[in-house]
Each structure stands twice: as C-alpha cells, then as structure tokens.
Amino acid sequence: MRHKYVPVHRHTLWYYMGGVALFLFMVQVFTGILLVLYYQANENSAFESVRFIMTKVQFGWLIRSVHSWSANLMVFFVFVHMFSTFFTRAFRKPRELTWVSGFILLTLALGFGFTGYLLPWNQLAFFATKVGTDIVGAVPFIGNAAKIVLRGGEDVTGATLSRFYAIHIAILPAIFTIFLGLHLLFVQRQGMHEPDYMANLPADKKKLMPFFPNFLLRDLLLWVVVLNALLALAVFFPWELGEKADMFASAPAGIRPEWYFVFMFQTLKLLPAHVLFIEGEVLGIVLFGLAAIAWMLVPFWKSRGEPHGRSRALKIIGVIVILYIIGMTVLGYAR
Amino acid sequence: MMQKAKSRPTTAEQSGDGMAISRRQFLNLLLGGGILGWLGSVIYPVFSYLRPPKTPEANVQSVKAGLASEFPVNSAQIVKFGRRPVILIRTDTGDFRAFSATCTHLECIVQYRTDLKQIWCACHNGLYDLKGRNLSGPPPRPLEEYAVKVVGDEINVARSAGVGS
C-alpha cells in the first residue's frame, strides 16, 4: 500500500469512479442490514412491512430511501466506471481478469437491483418481475427450468418473493463478496493503469501521487460528497412505495422497469412478434446474451489491424454501445 | 534396481488379458467413481430442493362473474378463474367476451381500452382485437378464448372446448 502510486494526468478523475461504486455498495450493506430488521418477506405482509418502515419506524423513511437511491447510484457509477475503463483501454493485458471480474460484479449488481425491486411487493415490481422472469424462461434449453426455480413455481407469487429475498440478502452478497475481493486484489496487485502516452515517458517525467495518504484522502473526501448528495436525494426526493401488488389487476399504463433495464425493455418492445421463424423476444434475449458475453471478453478480442486502427475501432464500438443504451432509454421514457 | 523394477510384470500382463486393468487403474477408477458418486449424491438433493414441488391447480371449469344488468357496455373487468386472470369484456353491442388476461408476450395482465375498443397490454404495447387475435406489437399468439353464457341475469365464464384441457 505504501509503495502504490496513482498516475496523475487529465483522466485521473476516472480512477475515482470504482471507489465511489465501492462506497455505495458499503452503504447498501449497511442500510440493507437495517431494513432486514423490520422487513417481512411474505405476500401478505411485505408491502405492509415496508409501509411500516416508512411511516412508523423512526427514520425508517430515510433508511429505505437511502437504500433505494444508493442502489440506483451504485449501478450508475458501476456503468461509468466500466465505460471509463473501456475508453482508457485499461482492460488490456495484464488486467484482463480485472475487467472480467468487474463485468461479473456488474451483472451481480443488476441481479441485486432486479431482486430488490420486487421486495416492496408493489404493482410495478410485480409486473417487472413477471416480465423479467418470463424473459429468463425464453432462454433456449434451460430457460423454463430456470424460470420455475427463480419463481418458486409456475407464476410469480409469494414463493417468488421468498426466493428473491433469499437471493437478495444471502446468495448474491456471498457471491458478490468473492468477486469484489478478487477485483480489489487484482487492482491492488497490478496498480493503476497508465495511459499509453504516459507509459512511454521516462520515469522522472511521470507525475505520480502516492496512494496513501494522498489518493485515499481524496477518495474519502469524494465519498463524503457522495454521501451528502445521497442524503439530499433521499430527503428531498423520497422513494415511493406505490400500490400493493394485485395478481388480478391489469398492468398499469406507463409501466417500465428500473432505468438501467429500460434500454433492453424498449428493444423488446420494438421487436416484432416474429423475425423469420424466431419469436421476437427469443431473438432479443439471445442477441443481448451474446452481446454481454462479447463485452465481457473485450480484453481477449483479437484483430489483425494495426494498433492505432484497433483502438479507433474500439472507441467507435464503445460510442455506439453508449448511444444505443442512451437512445433506447430516452425512447423508453418518451412514451 | 531400475532394471529390475521395469522388468517386473504388471497384473495385466500376468493375466494375459488385453481388457484387464492394473491394480493402480482399478483403484483410481474406484476412487474417481466414488468421488463422482459422492458429489452427485450431495449435489442432486440440492438441485432437487431448488425445484419447487408442483402444487395441484384447482380444476375450475366455470366461474360466476356478476350480473349482466350491472355490467356497463364498452367496459371490462378481470375475473379470477382459479389462479388465472380472465378478462371479461362487454362490447358496444352488449355482447360478452372473455379471454385469458395473460399477455402471450411476457405474461403481463392485459386491459380493455375503451377508446380503441381493443385489448391492450401496457407492458410492451401489444394490441389484440375483440376476438383475442394479436394485431400489433410483440405478442406472438392470440389470447385464449373463454366461453361466456348469461343465464337469467347471471354471467358465467367457462373454459372453451380445447382451452386448458
């Protein structure tokens, strides 16, 4: 730790994003443990227990609102962290596994988001879970079995709620901890990535900052800023509870999943019922699955082109991915 | 020493049978097989535990859905048909129609749009006509139709022939 140095250059700012995501994860663990004290994962009392937390428990509204806001901000900063790593090409050798473990952490974070969304047992969450698990069901070969295991039966019921609760507070945290440990270990072992132009400079021309205490103190300062922003959001824009889930009510108009799933949701909405002989949703799911795997394997992409052309091609791909995600998300909210 | 060890015949050679295996191979097989079997006996119950047991579904054949005189035209409601939601619609002309309310796309519950006089799924903007046929949007199949009978003033929704049987 004492011998660790952080390169100082015009993109140093991006080094802080992973730290912010880590801090928000710690907030999630802390507030999550507090919520568990009152929450009841049961079809008949889940909604009521969250309402109880928000209306009767002292500062319960704050804890729940911070948990929801922090979850969303965490996903946001994980995305920022990932794209900054992509565009600075910090995933290259020897950091391939840091990228892969980071990608797995992203999918786990989305899993946290998806399972946590159902827990208040409100109408939006109920339909989001129905759709989300049905999408799992469309995966070729193993889909149907996975869907039934996830739902705890054929339909989304109280059994699904119990399972999602177990996944949210036991299974995912256990797996997440392992990959987070690996991810941090890799970062610690390999040090911070230097941009190309800097790696070629002679040692005395490089601007560096000691990790301890200089970078760490900046990290901590930023965490305090983030915490204040988080509290402000939680206080001034408290998270809503919505209406209790009713298994026999029509899906309300304007229904959509959490913002970080909207681009996939919107794509599924736009796909026609059948593309050639394949059902539209199956095609969408398979394509998204393949894209995710390709993205996870970015450090291993091989190309015959010269290095400069290769980095330009990567940049273009990254920009297209971001534009697609933003475009589809905007479209999803526009209607 | 080396020479001596090399020239020592193995069990397989002693028996003179090509199919036979050495003592070492036999023990490896036993051990490997044992470990695999043991792993299986540990993992199988866990996986089986994860698969929820099938709960028998009440065999509902028909349900009562209120009084026809209290059901306004150009409106709809969701009826509980056992564990399944069914949408019961009264058209402009006063006819009753019933369909499975579960969208064939991703299982959201559909609703009747009085402005369009069509069945609409809010989740992904799927549209069905009043015969349950998928018109536009992502739904790949029509909605299952249920039979509606009005006996006296009472509405009865029943499985159509060939539906859910």
CATH number at residue B130: 2.102.10.10
Instruction: Please write the tens of the pLDDT for every residue from A62-78.
Output: 999 999 999 999 999 99
* Interface probe, candidates A250, A256, A264, chain B, greatest B C-beta count within 10 A: A250
Instruction: Please write the tens of the pLDDT for every residue from A135-179.
Output: 888 888 899 999 999 999 989 999 999 999 999 999 999 999 999
Confidence band, pLDDT 50/70/90 cuts, at residue A197: confident
What is the side-by-side order of every strand in the sheet holding B62-67? Answer: B62-67, B154-159, B145-151, B96-100, B84-90, B75-81
Residues B67 and B122 in one domain: yes
Sort out which chain B residues have CB atoms less than 8 A from A134's CB and list them. Answer: 106-107
Domain contains B55 = no
Residues B68 and B138 in one domain: yes
Structure tokens at A299: 């450090």
Residues B83 and B144 in one domain: yes
The structural domains of chain A, ordered by start, are 5-247 (1.20.810.10)
Residues B88 and B136 in one domain: yes
State whether B122 and A279 contact (CB < 8 Å).
no
Q: What is the percent of chain B with per-residue pLDDT over 90, rounded to a whole number?
A: 57
Residues B66 and B147 in one domain: yes
Instruction: Please write the tens of the pLDDT for every residue from A22-39.
Output: 999 999 999 999 999 999
What residue of A is the nearest CA neighbor of B111? A250
pLDDT value for A169: 97
Residue B10 pLDDT greater than 60, yes or no:
no
Greater confidence, B8 or A186?
A: A186
pLDDT value for B4: 47
pTM: 0.85
Task: Give the distance from residue A289's alpha carbon to the nearest chain B alpha carbon, in angstroms.
Answer: 18
The predicted model gives B130-152 an average pLDDT of 91
Residues B39 and B69 in one domain: no
Sort out which chain A residues have CB atoms less than 8 A from B139's CB and list them. Answer: 273
pLDDT value for A203: 82
What one-character-per-residue DSSP string does chain B give? -HHHHHHSPPHHHHHT-TT---HHHHHHHHHHHHHHHHHHHHHHHHHHHHSPPPPPPP---EEEEEEGGGS-SSEEEEEEETTEEEEEEE-TTS-EEEEE-B-TTT-PBPEEETTTTEEEETTTTEEE-TT--EEESS--SPPPEEEEEEETTEEEEEEPTTS--
State whether B108 and A135 contact (CB < 8 Å).
no
The predicted model gives B25-48 an average pLDDT of 93
* Interface probe, candidates B103, B108, B110, chain A, greatest A C-beta count within 10 A: B108
Residues B83 and B44 in one domain: no
Domain contains B57 = no
State whether B138 and A252 contact (CB < 8 Å).
no
State whether B124 and A127 contact (CB < 8 Å).
no
Residues B42 and B67 in one domain: no
Domain contains B24 = yes
CB atoms within 10 A of CB B143: 25
State whether A149 and B50 contact (CB < 8 Å).
yes
pLDDT value for A69: 97
Closest partner residue to A273 (CB to CB) among B78, B80, B140 is B140
Domain count for chain B? 2
Residues B129 and B70 in one domain: yes
Instruction: Please write the tens of the pLDDT for every residue from B110-130.
Output: 999 999 999 999 988 899 999
For residue B24, the enclosing domain spans 2-50
Task: Give the distance from residue A115's alpha carbon to the nearest chain B alpha carbon, in angstroms.
Answer: 17
Domain contains B23 = yes
Residues B23 and B77 in one domain: no
The predicted model gives A41-45 an average pLDDT of 93
pLDDT value for A133: 92
Domain contains B165 = no
Confidence band, pLDDT 50/70/90 cuts, at residue B12: very low
A255 touches chain B (CB under 8 A): yes
pLDDT value for A268: 85
State whether A145 and B123 contact (CB < 8 Å).
no
pLDDT value for B163: 46
Residues B93 and B27 in one domain: no
Residues B42 and B100 in one domain: no
Domain contains B164 = no
Domain contains B137 = yes
Residue A190 CA, chain-centre distance (Å), reads: 24
pLDDT value for B7: 52
